[in-house]
Amino acid sequence: MKQSEFKKRRASLMKQIGKGNIAIIASAPQRTRNRDVHYPFRQDSDFYYLTGFNEAESMAVFIPGREQGEYILFCREFDEKKALWEGAHAGLEGATKHYEADDSFPIDDLDDILPGMLENKSKVFYPMGKDSDLDHKLLEWINHIRKQSRSGVTAPGELVSLEHILHEMRLFKSAEELKLMRRAGEVSAKAHIRAMQACKPGLYEYQIEAELIHEFIQDGLRAVAYPSIVAGGKNACVLHYVENKDKLNKGDLLLIDAGVECDHYAADITRTFPVSGKFSEPQKLLYQLVLDAQAAALAEIKPGNPWNKAHDASVETLTKGLIELGLLKGKPKKLIKDEKYKQFYMHRIGHWLGMDVHDVGDYKIKDEWRLLEPGMVLTVEPGLYVPADCETVDKQWRGIGIRIE
């Protein structure tokens, strides 16, 4: 993504913060997997959204109206030995030259420099409660400033959640963001097709997962957006099944929920298909019902409609269909009111999608479902799940799980 995109975001953020205030946000930490081995690093989404800086041990500071520069980046100094062992990193010069920080300082000097930047500021915007170390440090810095009150400096009097502004910004995707998401979607779709072509009875779920990952990496995208769900037969009735260890049996369905990440932007796709290539009659009827529910939901997704309208359309379609097939008994309105459908359809129709697979953004404003607007991206994923031990329905339906997204 071009640096101009990040610069535009920072300008928008600082305009909303206002002069006389300050915002700070920390990078994701490096996580230890075991002993001296780390998990692959994945930058904090909020931090990356504003900086494009993909290194741990960093802190971004935004001070609207600061004469020496409004955007300050604290990061690791360049270390030749570290570069030899672990690869290139920006250093202080790279932070300003390549990432367009107005000023850069060593992260080791944070305690010496940042308190001075907090002086005489009214509000501090930061991710409250997200990082206990930052919460603690910030209070230490503020208390340090308060002790200097006789010298004429004042400490910030208000701490404000940065997410309130930042997550509303992230909810609306730019053309550049949509381009990355389409790329993630295209590669994910290719991976699903590859998995379908490879699938046959006798293989194991993990072998199908390997086909997905092969396609992701073959196309140059190495990070999955979330752990892939490859659920054969009754495993599909476990919504977040990720063990992917069982054998695929003739006559079962296979539910795959998998997506890749492109430059920190996620795809999220689910498909359900027969392991042997042909639906049984019960599978076919339930699949068609889920497909009809998706079509009903998609018809309600347009600017000006409230978020929940698509969900309500899916619930109505699924409930009526379940009555026709004999899985539910009663009148649709009463069953919906009493939420009887939830024994087979227990999740909502979808979620925001972006840098996080369950992306940020409010679903309600002042207790009212928010209206859909251009630039928002959301998933549409109706499903039906009939547990293998569900004795309230005929045996032909048991152990079938279907989701289309």
Identify whether 405 is a catalytic site residue. Answer: yes
Question: Would you say 198 and 275 are in contact if contact means Cβ atoms under 8 Å apart?
Answer: no
Catalytic position from the list 347, 348, 370, 398: 347
Identify whether 351 is a catalytic site residue. Answer: yes
Identify whether 36 is a catalytic site residue. Answer: yes
Pair type for strands 32-34 and 37-38: antiparallel
Identify whether 257 is a catalytic site residue. Answer: yes
Identify whether 381 is a catalytic site residue. Answer: yes
Distance, in Å, from the CA atom of 293 to the CA atom of 298, rounded to the nearest integer, reads 9
Catalytic position from the list 98, 108, 358, 394: 358
Catalytic position from the list 33, 35, 36, 133: 36
Identify whether 347 is a catalytic site residue. Answer: yes
Residue 255: burial class (beta carbons within 10 Å; 0-12, 13-18, 19+): buried
Identify whether 385 is a catalytic site residue. Answer: yes
Distance, in Å, from the CA atom of 253 to the CA atom of 239, rounded to the nearest integer, reads 15
Q: What's the start-to-end Cα distance of the chain, in Å?
A: 27
Identify whether 38 is a catalytic site residue. Answer: no
Q: Which two tokens stand for residue 294?
A: 């998706």
Catalytic position from the list 55, 215, 263, 268: 268
Residue with tokens 């009809």: 292
Catalytic position from the list 42, 214, 348, 351: 351
Is the C-alpha dihedral spanning 263, 92, 47, 21 positive or negative? negative
Pair type for strands 261-262 and 265-266: antiparallel
Instruction: Find the angle CA(402)-CA(403)-CA(405) to the nearest 5 degrees.
Output: 160
CA 169 to chain centre: 15
Catalytic position from the list 240, 281, 367, 389: 240
Identify whether 358 is a catalytic site residue. Answer: yes
Q: Say how many CA atoms lie within 13 Å of 234 toward its Cβ.
A: 9
Q: Which residues are catalytic?
A: 36, 240, 257, 268, 347, 351, 358, 381, 385, 403, 405
